[in-house]
């Protein structure tokens, strides 16, 4: 009898092993860019030289050389709340990943139970007990499901993809934070430069106002010229008020990025900023795969793919083995006696037939969600290529604009000097001087904006290439 049971059990285990070789779940393969109907030749990245080494591989410490800025980035990566939230999401996903890995293991539980029954006189136990029945149990239950169709394996991989997705999301937050801190910092330096220019202009126009009043007393200019000079002074003062307000707001913004209460921000000068890193991109495939948001979208697709495998496996029968045993006695003193031992072994095969279309619905929904994930992945590639192209073109445009604005400022500056000299010799009117001074101020402020735009475009390109998280 025992030999027959052993043979049957061995046959069952062999059958399980053979069925596992008939694994129905598909293996995930990363989709190629060409399979998504995306042509790498159309990324519009040909206006900057490409290299096998991408700019994104460079550490942010090497890209940003300002010691004050690097201190702020270090602090932000430690204290910023978005970073800390992303880390907690990783911890939660890691817990689910560990749960998925434990899916292959059997479950085991222990149960202690005491039952007291008051029996009726006509009950089945009335002849053996005088109105009451006590029963004591101490049992253990063991259950295991064979991963015949790869359901457990797919679940494990889905949890793994979900975990990696949160890691990529954290990397994306890190990249974005570094870019935001650097961007706000450079904007602050640009505003500082514009404030210095405006203050110098206010001082000059104050002197010009005194000069125009003296010229009016001498009969060389009219009251109109005096009032226009005065109006120009007020215009510069209003610009200074706006710039100081902008500086205050930028300081508060940077404080929040650093995880601080709003406060004054120490900083260096715009003229000290030099980014000497070569703007190399790498090949298009490398360009896109380094971006954390693209990786996040791809892991989301992998998760959806594995969950589709899980949904498909529900159409097939599940094979479970369960065993329970322990001690059972009507007398507590006899509970741990060998005669109180009992055991059960059950092998079950469950095939769903009619279940209100739930399995089919779940499968159809999972396929639709997988297609959504695939389209989101494709969209992330398209957005990535656009942002890289935009950042590169913006850098070239800003560099070209700096040269033009520098020439424009030099011309207006000379025009101001010439008009003032002509006025002193009675060869020009005061309106020409005022117009030249106004143009020179606007041009100098625009030149600072152009320098800031160049720095911002480098930051945008670094972020678009996925730099900063390594």
- Domain of residue 363 covers 23-464
What residues have CB less than 8 Å from 102, skipping those under 6 apart?
A: none
- Tally of structural domains, the chain: 1
Tell me if 18 is assigned to some domain. Answer: no
- pLDDT one-digit tens code per residue, 290-302: 888 888 899 899 9
Q: Identify the H or E element spanning 380.
A: helix 358-424
Residues 140 and 108: beta-carbon distance below 8 Å: yes
Answer whether residue 305 is part of any domain.
yes
Q: pLDDT per residue over 241-259, tens digit each?
A: 999 999 999 999 999 999 8
Return mean pLDDT, the chain. 79
For the chain, the straight-line distance linking the first and the last C-alpha, in angstroms and rounded, comes to: 65
Whether 7 maps to a domain, the answer reads no
Number of C-alpha atoms within 13 angstroms, CB side, residue 426? 3
What's the alpha-carbon Rg for the chain, to the nearest Å?
Answer: 38
What pLDDT does residue 21 have?
47
In order of 119, 120, 342, the CA distances from 331 in angstroms are: 17, 20, 15
- Stretch 336-363: mean pLDDT: 77
CATH number assigned to the domain comprising residue 177: 1.20.1600.10
Residue 12: inside a domain: no
pLDDT value, residue 154:
82
CA angle 269, 274, 279 (to 5 degrees): 145
For the segment 363-371, the average pLDDT, to the nearest whole number, is: 90
- Are 181 and 73 in contact by the 8 Å Cβ rule? The answer is yes
| Residue 345: inside a domain | yes
Distances (CA, A) of 123 to 117, 118, 212, 462: 11, 10, 121, 83
Q: Which helix (H) or strand (E) holds 307?
A: helix 292-313
* Domain assignment present for 263: yes
pLDDT at position 464: 86
381 belongs to a structural domain: yes
Residue whose structure tokens are 């029968």: 317
Whether residue 409 is contained in a domain is answered as: yes
């Amino acid at each position: 009898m025992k030999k027959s049971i052993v043979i049957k059990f061995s046959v069952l285990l062999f059958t399980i092993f053979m069925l596992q070789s008939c694994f129905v779940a598909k293996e995930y393969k990363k989709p190629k860019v060409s399979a998504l109907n995306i042509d790498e030749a159309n990324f519009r990245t040909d206006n900057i030289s490409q290299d096998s080494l991408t700019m994104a591989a460079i550490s942010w410490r090497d890209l940003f050389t300002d010691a004050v800025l690097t201190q702020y980035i270090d602090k932000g990566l430690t204290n910023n709340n978005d970073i800390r939230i992303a880390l907690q999401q990783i911890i939660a996903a890691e817990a689910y990943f560990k749960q998925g890995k434990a899916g292959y293991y059997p479950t085991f539980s222990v149960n202690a139970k005491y039952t007291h029954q008051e029996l009726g006189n006509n009950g089945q136990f009335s002849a053996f007990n005088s109105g009451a029945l006590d029963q004591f149990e101490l049992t253990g239950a063991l259950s295991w499901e064979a991963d015949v169709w790869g359901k457990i394996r797919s679940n494990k991989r889905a949890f793994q993809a979900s975990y990696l997705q949160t890691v990529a999301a954290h990397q994306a937050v890190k990249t974005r934070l570094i870019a935001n801190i650097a961007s706000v910092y450079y904007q602050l330096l640009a505003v500082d430069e514009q404030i210095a220019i405006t203050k110098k202009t206010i001082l000059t126009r104050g002197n010009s106002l005194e000069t125009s009043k003296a010229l009016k007393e001498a009969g060389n200019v009219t009251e109109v010229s005096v009032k226009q000079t005065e109006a120009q002074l007020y215009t510069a003062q209003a610009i200074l008020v706006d710039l100081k307000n902008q500086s205050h707001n930028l300081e508060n913004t940077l404080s929040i990025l650093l995880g601080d209460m709003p406060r004054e921000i120490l900083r260096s000068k715009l003229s000290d900023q030099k980014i000497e890193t070569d703007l190399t991109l790498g090949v298009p495939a490398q360009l896109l795969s380094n971006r954390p948001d693209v990786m996040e979208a791809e892991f989301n697709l992998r998760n959806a793919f594995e969950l589709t495998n899980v949904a498909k496996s529900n159409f097939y029968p599940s094979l479970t083995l369960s065993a329970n045993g322990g001690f059972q006695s009507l007398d507590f003193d006899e509970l741990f006696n060998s005669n109180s031992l009992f055991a059960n072994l059950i092998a079950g095969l469950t095939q769903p037939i009619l279940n209100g279309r739930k399995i089919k619905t779940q499968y159809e929904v999972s396929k639709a969600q997988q297609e959504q994930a695939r389209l989101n992945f494709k969209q992330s590639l398209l957005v990535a290529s656009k942002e890289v192209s935009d950042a590169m073109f913006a850098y070239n445009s800003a560099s070209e604009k700096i040269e033009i604005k520098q020439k424009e400022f030099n011309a207006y500056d000379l025009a101001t000097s010439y008009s003032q000299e002509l006025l002193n010799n009675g060869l020009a009117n005061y309106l020409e001087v005022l117009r030249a001074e106004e143009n020179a101020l606007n041009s100098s402020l625009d030149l600072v904006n152009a320098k800031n735009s160049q720095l911002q475009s480098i930051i945008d390109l670094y972020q678009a290439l996925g730099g900063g998280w390594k």
